[in-house]
Amino acid sequence: MKVRKAVIPAAGFGTRFLPATKSQPKEMLPIVDTPTIQYVVKECVDSGITDILMVIGKSKRAIEEHFYRNFELEDELREKGKTDLLAEIESISNLANIHFVWQKELNGLGDAVMYGRSFVGNEPFALLLGDTLLGTNDELGRPVTKQMIEICSEHGESVVALEEVDWDKVERYGIGGGEEVGDGIFKLDQLVEKPSRDDAPSNLAIAGRYVFIPEIFDYLESQTPGKNGEIQLTDAMARMMSDRSIYGLRFDGKRYDIGNKLDFLKTNIEFGLKRPDTGPALAEFINEIANDL
């Protein structure tokens, strides 16, 4: 089963990051010098995806501009002989075929996903949150989405990425529970959105990556509003689970939630330390300020 298409919802208000997100998308906040959503698109491309639909809305125009060509800027870089930068800028608009749709009202993640129905058609597809990066320690260097596509191809069923979180944080996430049927692969029998610690079936949190069979749209279409009066994707998945299997991949790696201020700062420090152009000076600076604390 080949997965060629991805949907990236990026319409949310980003209230956890106000005032920065009043007029600019959180998905464009940079990790060092690259917008978060560009990493997400790269993950798609490295997973074999060729066509992407981004679900956007008010104050999200900068995302569209970022993935279109900017001829004036290209001319300027060419004239100044900045060929490396020129190649990098040109490559952004060639990453994949990227399409955009506006979510009319912010009725939740499940509602946003429904805007992908005609784009996706009758094929399996990947769903990646535009404000979340997943780092992986995979020996083969496969992005998490690629690992999930392989599981989907093997079983012909949907797959969700799972991250082990502290038990006192389960109430912040969608949580999955089920039996481990392979190394880090679970056949899920429970999915609960933001459960209390006592009600949580496990501490495995849904981590912003999904690969769905197209049948998910039937369940979304008939889904009634849940928590916060929104159409919750997790609720539709829980209903689909009574007819179809859903697998979970507890990936070996780390989730970076850019919509959360502290995670955003930590991610910039971690990525900045790993880069040869910023790492040494940043490490020196951190040691310097740590000594003053």
Burial class (CB in 10 A: 0-12, 13-18, 19+), 91: exposed
Query: Per CB under 6 A, which of residues 119..158 are in contact with ligand UTP?
Result: 129-131
Is there binding between residue 1 and ligand UTP (CB under 6 A)?
no
Pick the stretch among 39-47, 99-107, 151-159, 283-291 that binds ligand UTP (CB under 6 A): 99-107
Cβ of residue 154: shortest distance to ligand UTP, in angstroms?
A: 28
Q: State which residue, 176 or 272, has the beta carbon closest to ligand UTP.
A: 176
Is there binding between residue 7 and ligand UTP (CB under 6 A)?
no
Q: State which residue, 252 or 263, has the beta carbon closest to ligand UTP.
A: 263
Q: State which residue, 110 or 272, has the beta carbon closest to ligand UTP.
A: 110
116 DSSP β-pair partners: none
Cβ of residue 80: shortest distance to ligand UTP, in angstroms?
A: 36
Count CB neighbours of 179 within 10 A. 9
Report CA dihedral (185, 189, 191, 196) to the nearest 10 degrees.
Answer: -100
DSSP letter for each residue of 58-94:
TT-HHHHHHHS--HHHHHHHHHTT-HHHHHHHHHHTT
Burial class (CB in 10 A: 0-12, 13-18, 19+), 263: middle
Is there binding between residue 111 and ligand UTP (CB under 6 A)?
yes
Residues that bind ligand UTP (CB under 6 A): 9-16, 55, 103, 106-109, 111-112, 129-131, 259
